[in-house]
Amino acid sequence: MNKLQALRADEARRRSISRFDQPTRKRNPGRTQEAILNAAETEFCKHGFNGARVDKIAKRSRSNTRMIYHYFKSKENLYLACLERIYIKVRTEEARLDLKHEAPAEGMAKLVEFTFRHLLNNPEFVRMVMNENLLHGRYLRQSELVPALTLHLVEALRDLLRRGERAGIFRKGVDPVQLYITILGVCYIHLSNRHTLSTMFQKDLADPAWLEKRCDHARAVIIGYLRP
């Protein structure tokens, strides 16, 4: 072995040792799962459950399909995890309204405005819910978490209604579930049907000024209905 060959062999040996001496980068399971969920949500929103591709989710999340199946076991489980996550987000932020410490009319107005703005500012919620309805709620029915979270909302609404009824400012016998579905209706339809309604009425339903008026209208409709 000549001198040049010896130098090359020594350099290769040093690189090999250096590579094995380097501390391996630790994987952060929580961060990896969050990246997968973010990527999956984007893919499911865009293509629905049937059109979404796991390999595209892997590429977008900078992971791989083996890792996705390691954490979530199946495409169905991953989709359900995304669904549950959007409901956890809305119920968590809703709970921060602390409605039990609000006067009934003010609390109801806050809930309507929160619902309106959450739907407006979280289009992934609208898309995921629309896609799941096209599947007739097939996957959401598998969730025990979402109904449990919704019970807290129903109880908060029931408490507002009872206190408002006792104070003589709300009508008697309002069903909290019926009321919340109505709140969703006035806060949702202009988003889910934005393009067709904009064409029908020749108005831009995405215009910020129009949306502010719509929010005021939604509050007025609900509070107006609740008056005795």
- 5 in a structural domain: no
pLDDT of residue 31: 87
Range of the domain at 56: 27-73
- 45 in a structural domain: yes
* 62 token code pair: 């900078």
- 37 in a structural domain: yes
* Residues whose CB is less than 8 angstroms from the CB of residue 94 and which lie 6 or more positions away in sequence, other chains included: 111, 114, 118, 153, 156
Q: Both 169 and 60 in a single domain?
A: no
Tens-digit pLDDT string for the chain (228 aa): 444 444 444 444 444 333 333 333 455 778 899 999 999 999 999 999 999 999 999 999 999 999 999 999 999 999 999 999 999 999 999 999 999 999 999 999 999 999 999 999 999 999 999 999 999 999 999 999 999 999 999 999 999 999 999 999 999 999 999 999 999 999 999 999 999 999 999 999 999 999 999 999 999 999 999 999
Other CB atoms within 10 A of residue 130 CB: 14
Q: Both 54 and 87 in a single domain?
A: no
Contact 124, 45 (CB under 8 A): yes
* 128 token code pair: 């995921």
Long-range contacts of 70-74 (CB under 8 A, 24+ apart): 71/29, 71/32, 71/33, 71/36, 72/36
Q: Where are the beta strands (DSSP E) in 145-223?
A: none
- 146 in a structural domain: yes
Contact 34, 17 (CB under 8 A): no
pLDDT of residue 30: 81
pLDDT of residue 90: 96
- 190 in a structural domain: yes
Q: Both 40 and 131 in a single domain?
A: no
Q: What is the 3 state secondary structure string of 24-75?
A: CCCCCHHHHHHHHHHHHHHHHHHHHHHHCCHHHHHHHHCCCHHHHHHHHCCH
Q: How far apart are CA 166 and CA 181, in angstroms?
A: 23
**Total domains, the chain:** 2
